[in-house]
Amino acid sequence: MNILHLDSAITSDASVSRKLTADIVARLTAADPAASVTYRDLNEGVPAIDTTWFRAVRVGTDNPTPEEEARVETSDRLLAEVQDADTLVIGLPVYNFSIPAQLKNWLDQIARAGVSFRYTAEGPEGLLKDKRAFVAYTAAGTPIGSDLDHASGYLRHMLGFMGITDVTFVPADGLAMDRAAGMARAQAALEQIAA
C-alpha cells in the first residue's frame, strides 16, 4: 500500500488535524507494515494557479520559459504523488467555514483535464480511480455536514470528480464548545478504520 499523507493546518504542533492524520497513518501502517508513506506539508507552500500556470500546464507552449517549466514540474510532481498512492490521508482544518487556501491550491494543481479527469459524452469522468481517502476534519465551531460547513462537501466533490469516491471522514468538530466530545467523535471514527 502506498499512502500519501497531506497536512494543511497552519497551527503547527497545536493542530488537531495533524494529530489525527498521524493517527490514521499509524493505524494503516500498523495493519500493513510494508506500506510506504509519502508526506507533504501543504502549509510549506503550494503555488496558486495563475495565467503562467494556465499557459504552461493547460495550454502548453513549444518554447516554454524557465518559469513555465517550473510550473509544469510542480504540478506534475503533485499529481504523480496522487497517481502513485493507493490511499490518501488528508488533514482538513476548517478556516472561515471552508478549506485552507493551501489545500485549495493543491486541488487546483492536480485537477487537470485529460490527466486526473476527462470530459465524455456522458459528462466528466474521474481518472484517479481505485483509491481511497481518509479526511481528518477539524473545526472549532463548524459541525460537519451542517449548513455552515462549506469544506467537507467541497473536498468530497473534488475528490469524487477526479475519481476518488471512497472517502471516509474522521471528524473532530465543535472543539471550541466541547473539545472532549469532539475528540471522542474523532476517536470513534478512528476505531472504525480498517486497512
Q: Pick from 88, 84, 100, 86: which is nearest to 168 by CA?
A: 88
Q: Is 144 left (phi over 0), alpha (psi -120 to 50) or beta?
A: beta
DSSP state string for 80-101: HHHHH-SEEEEEEE-BTTB--H
36 among annotated binding-site residues: no
Residue 176 neighbours by CB distance under 10 Å: 11
57 among annotated binding-site residues: no
16 among annotated binding-site residues: yes
> Per the structure block, which three cell numbers stand in for 173?
468538530
Residue 98 neighbours by CB distance under 10 Å: 18
The answer to whether 133 touches 88, Cβ cutoff 8 Å, is yes
**Residues of each annotated binding site:** 15-17
**Residues of each annotated binding site for FMN:** 15-17
